[in-house]
């Protein structure tokens, strides 16, 4: 029998589930990469809110949250990108189901630790957020006017991958060519095997290359660390605000009313 409280101070001890999750986070993230942890928290918090609203946890592969739930927290689709442009950012933090968020977050954390250590937390955040938004901009342009419902951090994740290529190119490292070809093949295979937003992936990837290259040159020649930090803080506030604005939109409420009529 395990003790529920510390015999010295009387504080409640963590249970096996909490202890296991804490150990996993420490092993995956270590004590570094604080900005990666902040973004991961926001991503998982939005997913938890979707679960609370839907009162279930869809596993994926044909199973997803209700459309009204996805729209409530920032999904894009149809003319929404034009009418409510903040969704271009909010959608980066919304996922359709468990498999969707698990795959994106595993890649995000693995890449985030390395990229944040390489260019710093502020530049890493701007790379992820900027790539995610520009990936959805590419998606809006590519699929117009019949834009499907779309969500997910994969544009930002591909932006992280692109940033690695951009940094290698800035260093004149010949590995950048092999990395570029390898990741493009990976994007094509994903498009063939799964129902993914290829335009957002490629748009985020291209944006990441430019941002990775740009931030490498900025650090070497200009050193705009303070300005970059202010930009990252504003991006963080904008990320949370975009989800909140989506939750206040009448669009999801109208769609939920329609769902209730036809359930």
Residues with a catalytic annotation lie at 154, 201
Residue 9 tokens read as 């101070």
| CA atoms of 227 and 232, how far apart (whole Å) | 9
Rg for the chain (alpha carbons), in Å?
20
In Å, how far are 47, 80, 238 from 246, measured between CA atoms?
A: 14, 10, 12
**Phi/psi of residue 150, each to 5°?**
-145, 145
64 three-state secondary structure: coil
Whether the CB-CB separation of 49 and 229 falls below 8 Å is answered with no
CA 113 from chain centre, in angstroms, equals 14
């Amino acid at each position: 029998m395990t003790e529920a409280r510390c015999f010295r101070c009387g504080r409640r001890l963590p249970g096996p589930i909490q202890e296991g999750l804490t150990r996993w986070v420490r092993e995956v993230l270590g004590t570094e990469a604080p900005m990666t942890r902040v973004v991961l928290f926001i991503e998982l918090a939005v997913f938890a809110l979707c679960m609370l609203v839907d009162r279930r946890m869809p596993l994926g592969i044909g199973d997803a949250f209700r459309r009204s739930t996805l729209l409530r927290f920032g999904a894009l689709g149809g003319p929404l990108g034009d009418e409510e442009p903040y969704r271009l950012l909010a959608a980066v933090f919304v996922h359709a189901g468990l498999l969707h968020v698990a795959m994106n977050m595993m890649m995000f954390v693995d890449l985030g630790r390395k990229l944040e250590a390489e260019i710093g937390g502020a530049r890493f955040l701007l790379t992820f957020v900027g790539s995610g938004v520009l990936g959805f901009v590419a998606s809006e342009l590519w699929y117009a006017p019949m834009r499907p419902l779309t969500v997910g951090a994969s544009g930002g994740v591909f932006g992280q991958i692109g940033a690695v290529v951009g940094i290698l190119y800035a260093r004149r490292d010949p590995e950048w060519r092999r990395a570029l070809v390898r990741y493009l093949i990976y994007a094509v295979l994903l498009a063939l095997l799964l129902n993914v937003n290829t335009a957002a992936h490629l748009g985020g990837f291209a944006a990441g290359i430019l941002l990775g290259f740009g931030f490498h040159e900025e650090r070497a020649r200009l050193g705009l660390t303070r300005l970059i930090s202010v930009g990252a803080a504003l991006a963080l506030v904008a990320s949370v605000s975009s989800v909140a604005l989506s939750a206040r939109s009448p669009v999801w409420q109208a769609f939920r009313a329609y769902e209730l009529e036809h359930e």
